[in-house]
Every structure is written in C-alpha cells, then in structure tokens.
Amino acid sequence: MSASHTIRPITPAQVRLLRHALLRSFEPPSRIVYHGDDAPNTLHAGAFEGECLIGIASVCHEPMPDGREPASWRLRGMATVPSVRGAGHGRALLELCFDHIRAHGGRLLWCNARVVALGFYERLGFVAEGPEFDIDPIGPHYVMTRQL
Ligand SMILES: CC(C)(COP(=O)(O)OP(=O)(O)OC[C@H]1O[C@@H](n2cnc3c(N)ncnc32)[C@H](O)[C@@H]1OP(=O)(O)O)[C@@H](O)C(=O)NCCC(=O)NCCS
C-alpha cells in the first residue's frame, strides 16, 4: 500500500454503499442493515485510495451462536473493490478490526465466510469450523473463527 492509502473508521451509511456494490447487489443500500451496525462500540472500517472508498469491514460485539465465548465479536461485510484485490487492503482492514476488538476486551472473532474467500481468511489466521452451509441467494459458507 502506498502513502495515498489509508484505513479509518467510516459511518454505517458509507459502509452500506460498498456492501451493496460488492456483496449484496440484490438489495438497496438502505436495506443492508446488520444487527449491531449502530451500536456505539461497533467499528466500520474503510480503506481509502485518496478520498475514494475501496474497501470495508465491520465488527460488532456478538456472541457466537453456540455461546462458547462471551467476549466474541462478529465480522460482517468484508470486501475490497476488484481492481485493488491482492494489494493488502483486506489485511489492513482486518488488522484495524483486530486492534479495535482487543482494545474492547474481545478474545474471539467469527464470521460466516463465503467459500470463495476461505483462502483469504486462512491467510489472516482464521480457522473453518463445522460443515459447509448455504446462505440464499449468496451460496456456500463456513463459520470461521480467529483467536485474538
Ligand atoms: C476476500 C477479499 C476481501 C480479500 O481482499 P484483498 O484486498 O484481496 O485482500 P489482501 O490483498 O489483503 O490479501 C491478504 C492475503 O490473502 C490472500 N488472498 C486474498 N484473497 C484470497 C483468496 N480468495 N484466496 C486465497 N488467498 C487470498 C492474498 O494473496 C494475501 O496473501 P499474502 O498474505 O501472501 O500477501 C476480496 O477478495 C473481496 O472483496 N472478495 C469479494 C467479496 C467477498 O467474497 N468477501 C468475503 C465475504 S465473507
């Protein structure tokens, strides 16, 4: 990443525009509202090239469905624009998320990972758990976790 690239917190409204463009084009941005989006300790991280938003990731305090770790956080809406993929922006977004979670006493991060992104999450230290499952209309996913 060059000096013109930055990672910083953004608003829920900003994050929804890229969620729509990159992850959920079948829904308008105003409807892509996740549980926890407006919680005071939620982080919406944005990657910028100059003033252009090129990547997003959001983390909120949300226990895993099995309830094993109360200090667990959930990652949602992880994406970078196609023209910058492979350049380290996804990693940089997640590292800001890891720092934010640790600063709030979190010990585990989990997500429903699209199968096409498994290799990315593995590079960042996530481990897949349990069976593959389908989220309609997106496709196959695994639960992945990362200790912090
Ligand atoms: C998955 C995604 C966020 C990765 O973002 P990115 O900006 O390309 O990630 P980075 O460049 O920081 O990659 C970090 C590392 O993961 C690797 N990587 C990235 N995507 C990968 C993939 N799909 N499979 C295997 N490895 C991958 C990179 O090569 C890099 O490896 P390195 O540690 O050797 O340098 C991006 O490809 C994307 O937006 N995909 C479409 C949306 C999506 O599926 N999001 C996930 C929803 S669960």
Q: Is 44 a member of any domain?
A: yes
Q: Evaluate whether residue 142 is within a structural domain.
A: no
Q: Is residue 30 part of a domain?
A: yes
Instruction: Write the single-letter amino acid at 66.
Output: D
The pLDDT of residue 3: 66
Residue 94 beta carbon below 6 angstroms from any ligand 1 atom:
no
110-122 pLDDT per residue, tens: 999 999 999 999 9
pTM over 0.85: yes
Pocket flag, ligand 1, residue 89 (CB < 6 Å): yes
Question: Which residue range(s) make up the domain with 45?
Answer: 5-110
pLDDT above 70: percentage of residues in the chain: 98
Domain count for the chain, please give it.
Answer: 1
119 CB under 6 A from ligand 1?
Answer: yes
Question: Which is nearest to 125 in space by CA: 80, 89, 95, 82?
Answer: 95
| 117 occurs within a structural domain | no
We report the CATH number of the domain holding residue 15 as 3.40.630.30
Decide if 138 contacts 114 (C-beta within 8 A).
yes
What is the CA(90)–ligand 1 centre distance, in A? 6
Q: Is residue 74 part of a domain?
A: yes
Q: Which sign does the torsion angle of CA 83, 89, 91, 93 carry?
A: negative
Alpha carbon separation from 146 to 68, 101, 121 (Å, rounded): 13, 12, 9
On whether residue 18 sits in a domain, the answer given is yes
pLDDT in tens, 15-62: 999 999 999 999 999 999 999 999 999 999 999 999 999 999 999 999
User: Is 137 a member of any domain?
Assistant: no
